[in-house]
Amino acid sequence: MRIVVLLSAGLHPVSGRTVLQRLEAQAIRLGRSLMDDAGDEILGLHAGPDPSRVADAFGYGLDRMICCRIADGDDPVPSLSAALADLAPDLVLAGRRSQGADETGLVPYQVARDLGLPLAADAAGLMRQGFRIVVDQALPKGVRRRSAIGLPALVSVHSAAPPPLPFVFAAMRRGRADERPGIAAPVAPRDLEERPHRPRARIIGQGGGSAAERLKAATETAKAGGDVLVDPSPDEAARAVVDYLRRIGALGPAPR
Amino acid sequence: MTRPRIDPRQAREAHRVISVGRSRFDLAAKPVGVSRRPRRDPRRERAELMVADAGRMRLDRARPSGMAQPLPQREAAAAAPSVRIIENPVFLVLVIADPIENGTLSAVDRQALGAARALAGGEGGVVLCAEALTEVAGRAGADRLITAPAGLSDPETRAVALEELVGLLQPRHVILPETADGGDLARRLAVRLGEPLFAGAEQVSPRGLVRRVRGRQVDQRAMPPRIVTVEPDMVAPHSGIAHEARPLEVDVRWPGAMVTPAERIRPDAASLSLAEADFVAAVGNGISDLEAFRSLVAALGATPGASRMVCDAGLMPRAAQVGASGTVLSADCYLALGIAGAPQHLQGIAGCRHVVAVNTDLHAAMIERAELAIVADAQAVMPAILRLLAEEERQA
Ligand SMILES: Cc1cc2nc3c(=O)[nH]c(=O)nc-3n(C[C@H](O)[C@H](O)[C@H](O)COP(=O)(O)OP(=O)(O)OC[C@H]3O[C@@H](n4cnc5c(N)ncnc54)[C@H](O)[C@@H]3O)c2cc1C
Ligand SMILES: Nc1ncnc2c1ncn2[C@@H]1O[C@H](COP(=O)(O)O)[C@@H](O)[C@H]1O
């Protein structure tokens, strides 16, 4: 099985230096956990001007890397699709969103469309089942949605996936990216205005309403108007709590 | 408003007690001659000056207090229709709700509808496409309602149906929430239609959308494209007058069966992080028996939390702290044992739908916030719950 991890050069949110995104390091680990055969291989694919930007990936467990040379700011999709068509991998792993470029998270979807691959989003765990792969999709509140898709496929990784492998400095120093020319695809300038970030308040609770109502909601305790049991015996209190939790479904039904 | 002036010397004189030697005054006694002025209730006076249904709080100080009717022009406003009907919308804004979780629209879906309302303005129509016919749709700002069949969990089939829907309605904008399902669907749709996507809008108006990029240090502003996703908890939901939510029949071939059957796996409560947990039981300063608390949490299958007092004392890890400086919960149910309910703590549970409190103090803020409040010693209630659960186990 051949696994390709798409590596974008992310900008560190504080220092602004290029770093490997944590999610992509997690994708490398997920990919490695699927390899059980000596013939299996995992390689990285990056489209950008400088492979050293993603060299950290070697330290996180990557064996080989291919870098398609394109100018800074070019659209990486044509180069990535062409390289993947060439490599014919069984599984392509990608992050959710890049950091520092456009950050739309569209690249994996465009690549999947170009190659005609099925795409599964937000994988927190992967399992191999012959020619299929079982994807545990991470949903809010820790719920996982398990489904199977046929290989070859493209899977994007969620931050709930296992943490990256420990970083090995020597492996990072040893790694050499295999460079090849990419496909130049300048992006048409778009009507975007950029300005320094100004933090905006999150809305807490229901939101909306007048300023006075929002202030009230944030500072005053809303009366729930619920039941109050004053000085019940411990057993009465326990019964009331357990019954209530059962009624709202927080606690499973009584065993019988 | 004029009140009689008071001469302080005369007022004092009225308190004089007849005595020999030095002069004495009994200030507590009610003076005989001088009448006390009636006590005022400033809160009531203020409430009487309040202008009813003014949208925001307004005081009409010109009105003599004691005249509690609203102003006449406000009455005309109150007589306006309670449902806003847009008969022939100039353009449409389509909102795709996430799969319905507990029978109603989620907060994020409401925010997406709020964003759609902002883009639709007065003459555009907002079309909501949701799984179940939800009666709250109108209040959340939807003019039309399309019912999608439930249980379409395969994202690609949803995207195919949605593409057809977009082709039929030709909406000016398609708005989705930037959640696991909504974000995925928006990208599939953008790729299928070959159109750009504005991902994670934090500010929405017809004049432009704003989102954070570049490690969140830069704001990007652009005119709204067709496909937009809305960042959770950043855009206010619609709060004005309810819209019509008229059911709309569309001729879309919703796919029948799912291509890949999906299975939902519930997480193990103990391994969940506090922010992700659905049911949290928390311990406060009123509890000293943490062993009982730990076994209670295990027996209930809850995720453990704590107030800051307990974490500061080192009795629970900092990661368990609930509140403004700890974790803001997304839980549905919260059980508070011996927690007073300081404002900083209550901020952390603002989103919890069901709150149960056990506290010895009837006047604790937590008791007021709770849906089920028990004024009792939590140290005794905890073993009682454990006994009850064990009893049930034994009888089964
Ligand atoms: C900047 C700032 C940020 C803060 N952030 C947070 C935060 O994020 N989270 C947080 O929790 N706090 C926070 N606090 C602290 C907060 O103000 C309160 O001090 C704290 O929440 C109180 O914790 P408590 O309710 O456990 O303790 P207490 O206030 O001591 O209350 C104990 C309660 O237990 C009851 N009780 C006593 N004995 C029993 C018994 N046997 N059975 C049942 N009930 C009993 C008492 O009646 C009382 O109501 C913050 C404070 C500041 C200044
Ligand atoms: N230049 C690139 N080279 C390789 N992979 C990329 C590149 N840009 C984006 N990706 C992949 O696509 C994901 C989403 O990126 P984006 O659509 O730019 O937000 C990233 O996490 C990467 O896995």
B140, B276: one domain: no
Query: Are B155 and A224 inside 8 Å of each other by CB?
Result: no
A35-55: average pLDDT: 87
B393 touches chain A (CB under 8 A): yes
Would A210 be classed as within a structural domain?
yes
**CA-to-CA distance for B282 and B279, rounded, in angstroms?**
10
B93, B237: one domain: yes
CA atoms within a 13 Å half-sphere pointing along the CA-CB vector of B133: 5
Would A197 be classed as within a structural domain?
no
Chain Cα centroid distance, residue A40? 24
What ipTM does this complex have?
0.80
Would A61 be classed as within a structural domain?
yes
Please count the residues of chain B.
Answer: 396
B293, B370: one domain: yes
Answer with the one of B65, B80, B95 that is the final residue of a domain: B80
A48, A174: one domain: yes
Run means of pLDDT, 10 residues per run, chain B, 396 residues:
82 83 81 66 85 75 61 50 79 86 78 90 86 78 83 78 88 90 91 89 88 78 90 84 82 61 70 83 92 92 93 92 89 92 89 89 90 92 93 86
Would A123 be classed as within a structural domain?
yes
Give the position, in ligand 1's atom list, of the atom nearest the Cα of B358. Answer: 43
Of all residues in chain A, the percent with pLDDT exceeding 70 is 92
Give the position, in ligand 2's atom list, of the atom nearest the Cα of A109. Answer: 17
A247 touches chain B (CB under 8 A): no
3-state secondary structure of B203: strand
**CA-to-CA distance for B378 and A8, rounded, in angstroms?**
53
Q: Are B94 and B171 within 8 A, CB to CB?
A: yes
Pairing assessment for the beta strands A144-150 and A132-138 based on DSSP bridges: antiparallel
pLDDT of B76 reads: 47
CB contacts, 8 Å: A200 with chain B: 202-203, 234
Q: How far is the CA of A7 from the centre of ligand 2 (A)?
A: 6
Both structure tokens of B370: 């709770």
Query: Are A13 and B375 inside 8 Å of each other by CB?
Result: no
pLDDT of B309 reads: 94
Distance from CA of B2 to the nearest CA of A (A): 32
Would B4 be classed as within a structural domain?
no
Q: Are B213 and A103 within 8 A, CB to CB?
A: yes
Q: Are A81 and A75 within 8 A, CB to CB?
A: no
Helices (H), A50-146: 56-59, 77-87, 107-115
Would B104 be classed as within a structural domain?
yes
Residues 166 through 195 of chain A touching chain B, CB cutoff 8 Å: 190-195
CB contacts, 8 Å: B387 with chain A: 235, 238
Residue in A110, A200, A244 nearest the CB of B202: A200
Residues 163 through 222 of chain B touching chain A, CB cutoff 8 Å: 179-181, 183-184, 187-188, 190-192, 196-197, 199, 202-203, 208, 212-222
A20, A106: one domain: yes
Each residue of A147-189: pLDDT tens digit? 888 888 999 999 888 889 999 999 989 888 888 888 887 787 7
CB contacts, 8 Å: A110 with chain B: 191
Query: Are B216 and A238 inside 8 Å of each other by CB?
Result: no
**CA-to-CA distance for B327 and B78, rounded, in angstroms?**
42
In this model, does residue A205 exceed pLDDT 80? no
A160, A35: one domain: yes
A39, A156: one domain: yes
Would B335 be classed as within a structural domain?
yes
CA-based radius of gyration for chain B: 30
**CA-to-CA distance for B351 and B319, rounded, in angstroms?**
19
A15 touches chain B (CB under 8 A): no
B238, B348: one domain: no
| CATH, residue B88 | 3.40.50.620
- Long-range residue pairs from B16-25, CB within 8 A, at least 24 positions apart, any chain: none
Name the band, by pLDDT with cuts 50, 70 and 90, for residue A210. low
pLDDT of A220 reads: 60
Residues 112 through 171 of chain B touching chain A, CB cutoff 8 Å: 114, 153-156
Answer with the one of B80, B98, B123 that is the final residue of a domain: B80
Q: What angle is formed at CA B349 by the lines to CA B339 and CA B266, rounded to 5 degrees?
A: 110
Task: Work out the burial of residue A68: count CB atoms within 10 Å of its CB; fewer than 13 is exposed, 13-18 middle, 19 or more buried.
Answer: buried
Of all residues in chain A, the percent with pLDDT exceeding 90 is 28
A174, A234: one domain: no
**CA-to-CA distance for B116 and B238, rounded, in angstroms?**
9
Between A141 and B199, where is the model more confident?
Answer: B199
Would B259 be classed as within a structural domain?
no
Helix axis angle, B290-300 to B378-395, nearest 10°: 40
B206, B289: one domain: no
Would B157 be classed as within a structural domain?
yes
A150, A211: one domain: no
Distance from CA of A245 to the nearest CA of B (A): 8
pLDDT of B1 reads: 62
DSSP string, B161-184: HHHHHHHHH--SEEEEESSHHHHH
pLDDT of B257 reads: 47
Answer with the one of B186, B216, B247 that is the final residue of a domain: B247
B229, B286: one domain: no
| CATH, residue B296 | 3.40.50.1220
CB contacts, 8 Å: A241 with chain B: 335, 356, 358, 372, 374, 381, 385
Both structure tokens of A160: 């709930």
B214, B90: one domain: yes
Q: Which range of residues forms the domain containing residue B56? A: 14-80
The pick from A8, A53, A92, A187 for probing ligand 2's pocket by mutation, whose C-beta has the most ligand atoms within 8 angstroms, reads A8
Would A73 be classed as within a structural domain?
yes
Query: Are B376 and A232 inside 8 Å of each other by CB?
Result: yes
A37, A134: one domain: yes
B88, B221: one domain: yes
A174, A208: one domain: no
| CATH, residue A88 | 3.40.50.620
Count of structural domains within chain B: 3
A152, A249: one domain: no
A124, A237: one domain: no
A154, A237: one domain: no
Query: Are A228 and B263 inside 8 Å of each other by CB?
Result: no
Chain Cα centroid distance, residue B97? 18
B310, B237: one domain: no
Amino acid at B60: D
Sorted by sequence, the CB contacts under 8 Å of residue B123 that are 6+ apart come out as B86, B89, B90, B91
Is-cis flag, bond preceding A152, omega within 30?
yes
Would B237 be classed as within a structural domain?
yes
CA-nearest residue of chain A to B258?
A147
Would A191 be classed as within a structural domain?
no
Q: Are B375 and B362 within 8 A, CB to CB?
A: yes
B188, B317: one domain: no
Would A53 be classed as within a structural domain?
yes
CB contacts, 8 Å: A16 with chain B: 215
3-state secondary structure of B213: strand
Q: Which range of residues forms the domain containing residue A211? A: 204-217+230-255
Residues 191 through 220 of chain A touching chain B, CB cutoff 8 Å: 191-198, 200, 202-212, 218-219
Would B62 be classed as within a structural domain?
yes
CA-nearest residue of chain A to B265?
A144
Count of structural domains within chain A: 2
B106, B208: one domain: yes
Would A55 be classed as within a structural domain?
yes
A162, A236: one domain: no
Residue B141 backbone class (left: φ over 0; alpha: ψ -120 to 50; beta: rest): left
B236, B97: one domain: yes
**CA-to-CA distance for A225 and A218, rounded, in angstroms?**
18
Would B115 be classed as within a structural domain?
yes
